[in-house]
C-alpha cells in the first residue's frame, strides 16, 4: 500500500493541533467541493484526499496509530498483538513489551496475514476506512424533506435529507466509506450538515425568530398587518398600544421538527415601530395638537 502523507494533504505540520486540522479541513473541503468545481476531476480527487486525511487526523486514536505505523495504521491492533505474541515466543517468561519489532511493519503484517501465509492459508478481512464529509445547505433546503445525489469516492449516493435537520448534525450512511481490505466490508460515511444563516429568520431548534416593521398609527390604534412567514404571508392582528420590541407568537409557523411528521415549532415576531418621516405642515400641526392634549391630560 502506497504511503499517503495526510499532514501534507492538509498542508499542516505533524505538530498541528485539533483546531488547526479542523480549520484546514473546512477551508480545503470548500475549495475543492464538487458543487463548486463541476466536471473537474483534479478537484474531485483532491476533495476525496482531504476527506480521507481529515477522517484520520481529526480522530485522536486514529491519528496516534497513523503517526506510529504509517501506511499500516489501519492494522495497528493486529500488528501490535502479533508482535507481542512473537516476543513471548522468543522470550518465554519475559514481559511482552520487552522487545520492539525492528523492520518494516508492512513486511511484518504481510508475513502474518498475507496471501502467501502458509500457516493460515487465507487473508484476514478488515473493514474499510470510515469517511467524513460536509454538505452545505441553505435553511430553505431543510424546510421540507428532499432527495439529493452526492458523489463520494467516485460513486453517486442518493439519499433523502429529512426536514428539520440541524446545523452541525451528523448522520451515518452505512457501507459508503472506503472499500474493505481483502474482501472485508466497506467503511461508513459520516455526513455533517452545514446550514447557512438566513437573512430574515433566526432558527433555534424548531422555533423561528424575525422582526417586523410596524407603523406608528397601527402601533397606537391597532389593526391588521401582513407578515412574511417561512412558507408564505399571513394576516396578523396588532393590539392597540403596541410598544416597540413587543413580540407576537404565531403558533405552528416555525420550523419542522426533525423526524416528527407534521409537527412545527412557533414563529416569534418582534415589532419594530417606525416613526413617520418628512412630515407635512398639517401633520406637524396635528402632532403638536396631540402633544398639547396629552400634556394637558397629565
How far apart, in whole angstroms, are the C-alpha atoms of residue 57 and residue 23? 12
Question: What's the confidence (pLDDT) of residue 252?
Answer: 96
Work out the mean pLDDT of the chain and round it to a whole number: 83
- Work out whether the CA dihedral 168, 174, 177, 180 comes out positive or negative: positive
More confident call, 214 vs 182:
214
How far apart, in whole angstroms, are the C-alpha atoms of residue 7 and residue 13? 6
C-alpha cell at 172: 451515518
The residues that bridge with 269 in the sheet, in sequence order, are 210, 248
Q: For residue 197, what pLDDT band results from cuts at 50, 70 and 90? A: very high
Tell me: pLDDT of 98 over 60. Answer: no
What does residue 76 show for φ and ψ, rounded to 5 degrees?
-60, -40
Q: Are 189 and 172 in contact (CB under 8 A)?
A: yes
Strands 223-229 and 232-238: antiparallel
- pTM for this model (two decimals): 0.58
Q: Are 193 and 290 in contact (CB under 8 A)?
A: no
Task: Look at residues 246, 292, 295, 252 and name the one whose alpha carbon lies nearest to residue 272.
Answer: 246
CA 211-161-50 angle, 5° bins = 100
- Work out whether the CA dihedral 36, 37, 39, 44 comes out positive or negative: negative
pLDDT tens-digit readout, 13-37:
999 999 999 999 988 988 888 777 8
Q: How many CB atoms lie within 10 A of CB 42?
A: 9
How far apart, in whole angstroms, are the C-alpha atoms of residue 40 and residue 223? 57
Amino acid at each position: 500500500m502506497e504511503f499517503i502523507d495526510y499532514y501534507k494533504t492538509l498542508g499542516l505540520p505533524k505538530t498541528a493541533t485539533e483546531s488547526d486540522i479542523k480549520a484546514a479541513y473546512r477551508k480545503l473541503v470548500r475549495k475543492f467541493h464538487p458543487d463548486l468545481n463541476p466536471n473537474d476531476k483534479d478537484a474531485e480527487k483532491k476533495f476525496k484526499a482531504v476527506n480521507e486525511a481529515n477522517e484520520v487526523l481529526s480522530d485522536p486514536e486514529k491519528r496516534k496509530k497513523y503517526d506510529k505505523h504509517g501506511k499500516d495504521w489501519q492494522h495497528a491492533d493486529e500488528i501490535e498483538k502479533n508482535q507481542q505474541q512473537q516476543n513471548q515466543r522468543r522470550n518465554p517468561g519475559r514481559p511482552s513489551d520487552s522487545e520492539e519489532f525492528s523492520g518494516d511493519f508492512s513486511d511484518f503484517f504481510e508475513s502474518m496475514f498475507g496471501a502467501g501465509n502458509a500457516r493460515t492459508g487465507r487473508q484476514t478481512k478488515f473493514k474499510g476506512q470510515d469517511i467524513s464529509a460536509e454538505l452545505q445547505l441553505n435553511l430553505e433546503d431543510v424546510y421540507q424533506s428532499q432527495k439529493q445525489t452526492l458523489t463520494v469516492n467516485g460513486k453517486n449516493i442518493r439519499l433523502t435529507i429529512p426536514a428539520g435537520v440541524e446545523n452541525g448534525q451528523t448522520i451515518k450512511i452505512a457501507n459508503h466509506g472506503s472499500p474493505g481490505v481483502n474482501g472485508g466490508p466497506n467503511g461508513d460515511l459520516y455526513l455533517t450538515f452545514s446550514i447557512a444563516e438566513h437573512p430574515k429568520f433566526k432558527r433555534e431548534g424548531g422555533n423561528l425568530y424575525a422582526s417586523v416593521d410596524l407603523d406608528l398609527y397601527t402601533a397606537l390604534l391597532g389593526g391588521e398587518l401582513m407578515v412574511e412567514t417561512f412558507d408564505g404571508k399571513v394576516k396578523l392582528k396588532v393590539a392597540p398600544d403596541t410598544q416597540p420590541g413587543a413580540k407576537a407568537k404565531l403558533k405552528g409557523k416555525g420550523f419542522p421538527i426533525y423526524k416528527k411528521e407534521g409537527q412545527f415549532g412557533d414563529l416569534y415576531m418582534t415589532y419594530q415601530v417606525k416613526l413617520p418621516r418628512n412630515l407635512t405642515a398639517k401633520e406637524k400641526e396635528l402632532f403638536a395638537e396631540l402633544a398639547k392634549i396629552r400634556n394637558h391630560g397629565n
